[in-house]
Amino acid sequence: MQATLTDIDPFDLPEWLGTGDVVSRNIYRLKQDASGYFLVGNLANQSAAAGFNPAVFVDDRTDAQLTAGLSAARAAVATAVGGGNLSAGLYRYRVAFVDATGTESNPSDPISVQVAANGSVNLTLPTGPADTLTRKLYRTKAGGSVYFYLDTVDNTDANPDRYTDTWADNTLTRLARWNAGPSISQVTNAAMATSTTAGTK
């Protein structure tokens, strides 16, 4: 398979070659069994080789050959799938670590994913530093920029690095702690959603 690195989500990599001091990029791929993202190869930004193109990466490796998993220290990875209640549009996620004292870390950088109508999102999550007990997940609504509390994932869960988000936008009513105070319309909409929607967050 030949992949041309020109259609990357601008919210993830606004400059896909990186900043001026970047000399190469690691390429990761999700295995067919959805067991996680693994290192496929490394692509240099510059080379004297004939025909070299820094925008083209050739992936000819089988899943069995992929053994180096995506480091837990990296940001979470989001993959859009079907079978949920999300609307069509761009969603952004952020993750925060919580320790035994209840102290919550600053949120991660945004993780963006484009979702089709009636979709859901599979998240691959970092487990956090050694003293992390849970991770709090935050999400925007479709096409939005304001973050809402989504869920909490315990590090003792059977699959602590996996989370599937199927929640519709109108179930998210609790603003993330770092968001500014809501506008009057946001308060009104949140109150209406709380009073009329069962199973809200």
Q: What is the mean pLDDT of each run of 10 residues along the chain (201 residues)?
A: 43 46 73 72 74 77 74 63 95 90 84 93 88 93 96 94 96 84 44 48 65
Residues 119 and 168 in one domain: yes
Same domain, yes or no: 108 and 12: no
* 3-state DSSP assignment of residue 141: coil
Distance between CA atoms of 53 and 129, rounded to whole angstroms?
38
Q: Tell me what pLDDT residue 16 has.
A: 53
- Does residue 39 form part of some domain? yes
Same domain flag for 41 and 85: no
Domain co-membership, 190 together with 111: yes
Element (H, E) at 117: none
For residues 90 and 177, state if they share a domain. Answer: yes
32 and 107, same domain (yes or no): no
- 47 shares a domain with 114: no
DSSP H stretches of helix in the chain: 184-196
CA 43 to chain centre: 23
Q: Closest by alpha carbon to 127, among 147, 108, 141?
A: 108
User: What pLDDT sits at residue 46?
Assistant: 74
- Number of structural domains found in the chain: 2
With respect to residue 70, please indicate whether it lies within any of the assigned structural domains.
Answer: no
CB 83 within 8 A of CB 115: no
Residue 61 · residue 40 · CB < 8 Å = yes
Would you put residue 11 in left (φ > 0), alpha (ψ -120 to 50) or beta? alpha
Cα 35 → chain centroid: 16
Cα separation of 61 and 24, whole Å? 19
Q: How far is CA 21 from CA 49, 55, 71, in A?
A: 20, 17, 22
Residue 118: which domain range? 77-196
